[in-house]
Amino acid sequence: MTWSTAITKIEPNKITVRGHVLSDLIGVTRFGQMVYLLLIGKMPEDKVGQLIEAILVSSVDHGVTPPSCVAARTVASCGTPLTSALAAGILSIGNFHGGAVEDCMQTLQRGIAMQKDGLSPAQAAEAIAKEAKEAKKRLSGLGHRLHTDDPRTRRLIEFARELGLAGQGVEQAEALVAAIGKTSSKTLPLNVDGAIAALLVDLGFPPEAGNAFFIMSRVPGLVAHILEERRREKPMRTIVPAEAAYDGPGA
């Protein structure tokens, strides 16, 4: 034995994930708890699983315009397997698409670390906002091309409060919005990536796992697009999102 793994132990007729017999979890453990168990290593309370599923639900799809959808549909259009189209969609998740979660988690953790040096959340937020303004750098997790007041953001934060799981991450994120509001003429609300970042910080996830949540959330959405592409469209077509009409059920 030359290396070790602490994730899953495999024995004949027995699979143990992070110390829990997998078959005992079936029908008992939510998918959201399972994600926490796998990435953090401990079985969380049910409410942690609920909050994780709320996060996964919030980013499950955003229509045909995101690059991940265009890439997945383009590849699906060529008669390829589901895995090829899905892989192409996932590969588009990078610095400029989905990557805001990881970035924003780092910013929030930095603010929280400043608080250990005696700054209040507001002071830490103002220092970060000032620095970004001077460096002419846009902070991730704030503002949105289309949504000026994203209801997903508000609902996610509210739900974390209902569960008693909102902590320093949410506090620091809200302080940041306030600090930016002071230094800038235009208000930049927390977007859904910023809200997810705040909640993941409060749940104890490391920033490097941030993109994973966006991906886990978006996979079923991408699968839905890939299957729709196969069923409704002719092969080898160019996907032009601006030419797509929505013809599904009304709200």
Using the rule CB under 8 A, is 48 a contact of a copy of itself?
no
Residues 61-120 interacting with a copy of itself (rule: CB under 8 A): 61-65, 67, 70-71, 74-75, 77-88, 90-97, 99
Give the residue from 78, 59, 41 showing the smallest Cα distance to 210.
59
What distance, in Å, lies between the first and last C-alpha atoms of the chain? 57
Using the rule CB under 8 A, is 137 a contact of a copy of itself?
no
Cβ atoms < 10 Å from Cβ of 126: 20
Q: What is the CA radius of gyration of the chain?
A: 20
Residues 160-189 interacting with a copy of itself (rule: CB under 8 A): 162
Of 58, 107, 140, 191, which lies in the binding site for a copy of itself, with binding defined by CB under 8 A?
Answer: 58
- The contact pattern for a copy of itself, residues 219-238, with x = CB under 8 A and - = no contact, is xxx-xxx-xx-x-xx-xxxx
Of 140, 172, 191, 211, which lies in the binding site for a copy of itself, with binding defined by CB under 8 A?
Answer: 211
Residues 10-29 interacting with a copy of itself (rule: CB under 8 A): 10, 12-27, 29
Looking at the Cβ atoms of 3 and 134, the one nearer to a copy of itself is 3
Of 118, 134, 137, 249, which lies in the binding site for a copy of itself, with binding defined by CB under 8 A?
Answer: 249
Angle between helices 100-116 and 210-232 (to 10 degrees): 160
CA distance 149 to 184: 17
Answer positive or negative: Cα dihedral of 15, 21, 27, 33: negative
Q: Are the C-beta atoms of 97 and 62 separated by less than 8 Å?
A: no
Looking at the Cβ atoms of 164 and 248, the one nearer to a copy of itself is 248
Using the rule CB under 8 A, is 46 a contact of a copy of itself?
no
Looking at the Cβ atoms of 78 and 113, the one nearer to a copy of itself is 78
CA distance 109 to 119: 13
